[in-house]
Structure 1
Amino acid sequence: MRKLLFKLLCHFATESDTQSIKLLADSHRHELGFIVRKTIEEAIKVKEIIYCSEGFLHFHHRKDNISTLYHLCVDKSCREQGIGRKLVSTWEAYSLECGIKKLRLKCPVDLTANGFYHHLGFTRVAIEAGKKRSLVVWEKKLFKSEVIKPRFIASLSAGRSEVEGLRKLWQKNQDSRNPFAHVLFSPISSPPSATDYFKNLKEKNQVENVWLDCGAYQVQQGKKTYEELLSFLENFYLNNQWADGYVLPDIVPLSSDSEEIIEYKVSETIYQCQHFFDKMPDYIQQRAIAPVQGHSLSQINRCLEAYINMGVTRIGFGSFGTSGPNGSVNMLSESSLRLFKTVVDTAKEHNLQVHCFGIGGPNSYNRLLRNNIVPHTLDSTTWWKAGGFGSIFFPHTSQIQVTVRKGIETTTKGLEKLKQKTNHDCYFCRDLDMLRTSRNHRIMHNLASWLDTLDSNND
């Protein structure tokens, strides 16, 4: 018996369990059909039945690394107690140990069990004819669990003097962490001084990684044409091969776009990424970050297929719902979360690193975690923008407009309670008056809150 997999409740069935399994199977003929005793006996001999007193699961490991579920049965008096979920999770864990890559099963289309498999993470791949009724074919890909601790990338669009001022201000926090260790900036939208500044910091080992963003936001805002963007990027990337990451050019679909426009933008993104990638030297190709765009599963999969064939090692997802002027604000819709989950799952299968472009504040990150979406890296401008508009946030909280007294949290007493609740305390939030009057204090407080959010989830 494999250790850790089968505790007191679940174990491989033995010969003494045969009669109990047969009785359970016979009492569920409507769902399972008729199962002969010999089938049960043979499955027990080769350890292909997982059993507990309230139910059993019969499976078979195929030579092509697919494990097929033949029967799952839980006593009617014991349902909705998590027994079926326990049997399936035990099968899944054992299959993963054995090197199985995929689980597969077929369920009659009229059974409520189809909803059960959907909630367990199975994907419906087909409906096929059965002997008496149609069958839904479900599959689930298996991946070895990887402990991912997301790394924060500070997204900046400021010049040398402003960033240097913020770095010096951070030193007053007496925090050993370096919030600017990993930086993403767009050379087309940043002052020219930013490029030399970040290059110099990298040469002095004061910055670990510098990524160059493609600046598609400039096109989205109507400030540049796409042709101008492509021309600028080609010239800039070729003349700046010192960076650690190069975001390939994309065209961002907006929520306000028609289906035809979205399809055009996705197709153009794939084409231009491939074309641009082919023109770059090996050094840049090895550090390319390919943006996945699309508002449908088909569009997302087309991007993934193209980028996998190109041989990139890092992809980025930023195709969230948009709002505000020119779609300038990203929103985490249920649809975009489902698409992002597909990107993360596919990346695991192909050993790709995943970056999340333009996540909001800590609450947005927590939504990703609740949906089991964990990127390797993420960037945000919310700490900067929110501070500029008079708002602050704490780990795991929404934004608070602090420049005016609107509620208990904008008073000294309320702020202290919030700090205790979130276990956050930094130099920048110790003086409420400074938070109200100093834009830079709000910005740096938000940055500290972002780091605390990641650290608390990484522990």
Structure 2
Amino acid sequence: MIFASSKDLFWIKALADAHRRELGFINRATLATAINTNEILYSPDRGFLHFHHRRDNISTLYHFCVTPAYRRQGIGRQLIEAWEEHSRKSGVTLLRLKCPVDLSANGFYSRLGFSRVDIEPGKHRHLVVWEKKLRPATANQLLRPQFVASFSAGGSELKRLFQLWESGGDSRQPFAHVLYSPIACPASTTEYLRFQKDAGHIKTVWLDCGAYQVQQGKRTYDELLLFLDKFYRNNQWADGYVLPDIVPLTTDNEEIVEYKIRETLYHCERFFNQMPLSVQERAIAPVQGRTINQVNRCLETYRRLGIRRIGFGSWGTSGPNGSVNMLSQESLALFKTVCDIAREHEMLVHCFGIGGPNSYNRLRRQNLIPDTLDSTTWWKAGGFGSIFFPNKAQIQITVRRSFETTKAGLEKLKRETYHSCYFCESIEQLRTNRNHRIMHNLVAWLDTLERDL
């Protein structure tokens, strides 16, 4: 993205004139003045964004357009992000824009983290007023955790999903950071993810220890330890290695929980000390427990070992074999303690198996924002026929049970949540295509992370 120059005026004016319905008439002199004052950002032959920095530290978007041939390729997002970055560097504290209420672009602004603050009458139609507060980069990092996509699938299925995401035209990269369990996945998963990482399409790959396999009774803990010892040594290209733990269940009594905590700490330390330095430096240590004393012992052990990233997953469980995580008030209070102690020791905090967007919003309402979090809900819910929208509960879309599962009901949900994506354009696709549901849920997850409550 660059600032437009006088030689670009003809092309920008032609593109603006071709979109008078959306933009209205724009005088050539207005565009020329904006170019001279560096108030038009330009993507050559693709699009432009006209803005103005006011004296009260508000930047207003006047005109914004992308050539039809380049839509759904991330050009619009790049222009908005360039405007945001330039505004932040210029001391701007608030971005503002107005969009006709009948344009689908409203969903686009919502996905980029803008909040609707008003609807006002315009010259020809009503306008939605959107605003976005700008914070320092460090504050943004504290308020928005890094999403880690967690899944269990073979290489061929992952390839199809990666390609499907690209076809949707969303420039965000939900697979930039991934987590998978090598003991639960075929070898093709490792091969595909390593290839994608080497090609630069994935930034980080974390290896989960697969304690869930023990929890489900599919493996013994000894089998898990033997597998991880060999796999971690042979795959030192990864960016994160979750140490093996023994997960307490909600149905466990206090004595069993204490036993599992002691065993987890003993085996984690022993396993860690046997690993090569490259694995030790990237270790992710699991914090388990029901009491402050138990989680504190975990953190003290990991601090002593020099581990910098810890992961919390003691949310409580329900369902068959404890397969569903729950965010109880007790677990939230415990997580706050973990965050407080970890920050004192300058440890990074990861949330294992956070659940869906509503679970994340519960953390956010209590100002419990981890550095990173992973979720499988986008995958699992879609596989079981369910979809979700930002700040809404899941709905079973494959059967017509309520108004929300009708075409009119779905469109109402999209309007209410200002959500729009390639994968939910057709309700029939959502009803019949598992992968479209999965991708739609992934978009909804990203939207949730980017929006204010």
Q: TM-score when scaled to structure 1?
A: 0.67
Matched, 1:432 2:444: no
Shift of 1:147: 2.8
- What stretches of structure 1 move > 4 A for 4+ residues in a row? none
Give the 3-state SS of the residue equivalent to 2:247 in structure 1.
coil
Matched, 1:174 2:172: no
Number of the residue aligned with 1:383: 378
Q: Between Structure 1 and Structure 2, whose CA radius of gyration is higher? A: 1
Are the equivalent residues in 1 in contact too, given 2:181–2:207 (CA < 8 A)? yes
Of 266, 286, 293, the match for 1:291:
286
- The alignment of Structure 1 onto Structure 2 pairs a total of residues equal to 315
Q: For CA contacts below 8 A with separation 6 or more, give which structure has more relative contact order.
A: 2
- Aligned residue type for 2:305: M
Number of the residue aligned with 1:62: none
Deviations 1:178-230 (A, max 9, x none): 11111100000001111111111111101000000000000000000000000
Deviations 1:232-286 (A, max 9, x none): 0011001100000000000000001111111110111111111111111211111
Matched, 1:441 2:436: yes
Question: How many Å separate the matches in 2 of 1:420 and 1:309?
Answer: 51
Are the equivalent residues in 1 in contact too, given 2:142–2:371 (CA < 8 A)? no
Deviations 1:78-121 (A, max 9, x none): xxxxxxxxxxxxxxxxxxxxxxxxxxxxxxxxxxxxxxxxxxxx
Of 251, 254, 268, the match for 2:246:
251
Question: How many Å separate the matches in 2 of 1:197 and 1:220?
Answer: 27
Number of the residue aligned with 2:403: 408
- Aligned residue type for 2:382: G
- Aligned residue type for 1:182: H
Number of the residue aligned with 2:311: 316
Give the 3-state SS of the residue equivalent to 1:153 in structure 2.
strand
Number of the residue aligned with 2:300: 305
Shift of 1:370: 1.0
Shift of 1:366: 0.2
Of 158, 183, 186, the match for 1:188:
183
Of 142, 145, 155, the match for 1:147:
142
Of 220, 243, 248, the match for 1:225:
220
Number of the residue aligned with 1:111: none
Shift of 1:348: 1.2
Number of the residue aligned with 1:204: 199
Are the equivalent residues in 1 in contact too, given 2:354–2:374 (CA < 8 A)? yes
Give the 3-state SS of the residue equivalent to 2:435 in structure 1.
helix
Question: How many Å separate the matches in 2 of 1:260 and 1:326?
Answer: 19
Matched, 1:399 2:394: yes
Give the 3-state SS of the residue equivalent to 2:167 in structure 1.
helix
- Aligned residue type for 2:227: F
Question: How many Å separate the matches in 1 of 2:195 and 2:162?
Answer: 14
Counterparts of 1:359-374 in structure 2, within 5 Å, are: 359-374=354-369
Shift of 1:397: 1.2
Are the equivalent residues in 1 in contact too, given 2:142–2:369 (CA < 8 A)? no
Of 270, 273, 282, the match for 1:278:
273
Number of the residue aligned with 1:242: 237
Give the 3-state SS of the residue equivalent to 1:147 in structure 2.
helix
Identity %: 65
Matched, 1:351 2:346: yes
Give the 3-state SS of the residue equivalent to 2:451 in structure 1.
helix
